[in-house]
Copies of this chain bind each other. A is one copy, B any other.
Amino acid sequence: MNIGQAAEASGVSAKMIRYYEEIALIKPPARSQSGYRVYGAEDVHTLHFVRRARSLGFSIEETGALLALWRDRSRASADVKAMALKHVAELEEKAAALKAMAKTLRHLASHCHGDARPDCPILDEIGA
């Protein structure tokens, strides 16, 4: 399977597959005689794992750690759970920060007439 098919099958773009290889997140695949990257089902599975981890908000570095745990048959599930819960906490922190911003801004907006007049508590407050 060439990189295009692997991308299609895993949901990871060809560009990203090459990048993940470059930064050593994934192993360099075999090459055909002409230099094309050749992937197998196992590789696609790994790529799919990476895609899922990324979609759960794990950084590439964290994804690498998860991959290592995934491949290590003797890992302790406690290690995985700890990583997951730490990440949950970070996600919730970021979400809370965004919601705080939204709340502040919504509050400011609620005091703004929103008509043709120029006076605007939103700008007043940001500038204060």
Q: Which residues of A contact B (CB under 8 A)?
A: 45, 48-49, 52-53, 55-57, 66, 69-70, 72-78, 80-82, 84-85, 87-88, 91-92, 94-96, 98-99, 101-102, 104-106, 108-109, 112-120, 122-123, 125-127
Asked whether A77 lies within 8 Å of B127 as measured between CB atoms, the reply is: no
> In the bound complex, what is the Cα–Cα distance between A80 and B127 (angstroms)?
13
Q: Which residues on the B side are within 8 Å of A106 (C-beta)?
A: 85, 88
Q: Which residues on the B side are within 8 Å of A75 (C-beta)?
A: 118, 120
Asked whether A56 lies within 8 Å of B126 as measured between CB atoms, the reply is: yes
Residue on B nearest A127 in the bound complex, by CB: B49
- Shortest distance in angstroms between A98's beta carbon and chain B's nearest beta carbon? 4
